[in-house]
Amino acid sequence: MSMGLALDVLLIAALLLTSWRLLEASDLFQAIVLFISFGLFLSLVWLRLQAPDIALAEAAVGAGLAGVLLLGTFKGLEPDFRKKQEESKPCRLDRPGACPTRVHYLAALLGVLGLAGILTLAVLDLPRSANGLTELAVRAFEPGGIDHLVTAVLLDFRLYDTWLELAVLVLALLGVLGAGGRHSVRGLEPPWDPDPVLVWLVRLLIPVVFSAAVYLLLLGGHAPGGAFQAGVILASGLTLLWLAGYRSVTVLPRGLWYGLVICGFGSIEVLAIFASVHPETPVLGYPPGFSNPVILALESLATLSIGVVLATLTIETLGGRERTPHYSGKGDRP
């Protein structure tokens, strides 16, 4: 018990310390590195709180992918970032509106403290021990089907969330490509020449990465794992392939790429249409007797979609500098 408590205190201290430092550190690069370690501490916390599904997703997405996106953007924004420190510039006096005064900061601080008070009261008001919806989920559970509760919730009881989540991914892709002024990442080259060590490592890792993705996908039915974790691993594999100069999502024909991006969302839509013409199937429910194969098919398509969309987002972020007029080859190669 006391060992557990010591671990809790250590983890929480690490979490709070890294988040405080990453917001306060004057060096932006240091802040991004701290952000990545914040994600890793958070995934340790998920393991401690018995949420291995989330720990897997957090380590891959929160720490890995978000870190890569931040570093890529940072490199694009400030190729010579060491020359000046953030927030050392004085506020411009010719624009009074842009200059927050001490009163503004005081008001914001009071607001934050008020928020802290309200949230603390809310947390203290919660019952200390409760099962939540666990029993409901266990009762609604069909024997012989999926026997991992989290996957069952994602793909059976709350399929609507998963569906809209896939829509959010497609929307984010549209937004990112739109803001970058591009239709697709077809033909984009990596921002630097592949390093021989990286090529060797990628050749070693790629079979492992792709088999891990398939394994996690199939494991999702009865243990921690599933479409999201598998999709993220697929995305990292595709990005690594691209970085090492191999074929990746950038050589896909446009039609196939569109198809892969939309297939996760589209397959659940087909299911919804099917349910609406079959009055005996519930909304977003599975045709009776076919739930297992249908769930596996949906999960596989969702994995493909998540992998391709996230890999495209990363590639656009890392290589997005290449053909824009302002930055053609200006200092963004290491």
Partner 1 sequence: MNTFLLYSLAAVVLICLGVHGLIFRRHLLRKVMALNIISGGIFLLLISTAYRNGTEAADPIPQAMVLTGIVVTVSATAFALALIRRIHQDNPDADDDGDFGDRE
Task: Enumerate residues 113-142 that contact partner 1 by CB under 8 A.
Answer: 113, 115-116, 119-120, 123-124, 126-134, 137
Q: Which of 37, 76, 266, 296 binds partner 1 (CB under 8 A)?
A: 76
For partner 1, the closer of residues 98 and 103 by Cβ is: 98
Among 79-87, 201-209, 256-264, 279-287, the segment contacting partner 1 (CB under 8 A)? 79-87
Is the four-CA dihedral 286, 292, 293, 299 of positive or negative sign? positive
Interface pick for partner 1 out of 6, 27, 30, 49 (rule CB under 8 A): 49
Q: Give the distance, in angstroms, between the CA of residue 309 and the centroid of all CA atoms in the same chain.
A: 11
Which of 66, 10, 57 lies closest to 37 in space, CA to CA?
A: 66
Contacts of partner 1 in 149-208 (CB under 8 A):
149-150, 152-154, 157-158, 161-162, 165, 168-169, 171-172, 175-176, 179-181
Give the tokens for residue 19: 């988040």
Please give the Cα distance from 300 to 168 (Å, whole number). 18
Positions in 6-25 near partner 1 (CB under 8 A): 8-9, 12, 15-16, 19-20, 22-23
Question: Mask 215-254, x = binds partner 1 (CB under 8 A)?
Answer: -------------x--------------------------
Q: Which is nearer to partner 1, 21 or 198 (CB)?
A: 21
Binding of partner 1 by 306 (CB under 8 A): yes
Q: Given the rule CB under 8 A, which of 112-120, 209-217, 255-263, 266-274 is the region that contacts partner 1?
A: 112-120
CB of 152 to partner 1, least distance (A): 7
Residue with tokens 């310390």, as numbered in its chain: 17
Residues 6+ positions from 189 with CB-CB distance below 8 Å:
250, 319, 322
The two tokens of residue 333 are 């190669």
Q: How far apart are CA 151 and CA 161, in angstroms?
A: 12
Q: What is the DSSP string of 269-300?
A: HHHHHHHHH-TTSPTTPPPTT-HHHHHHHHHH
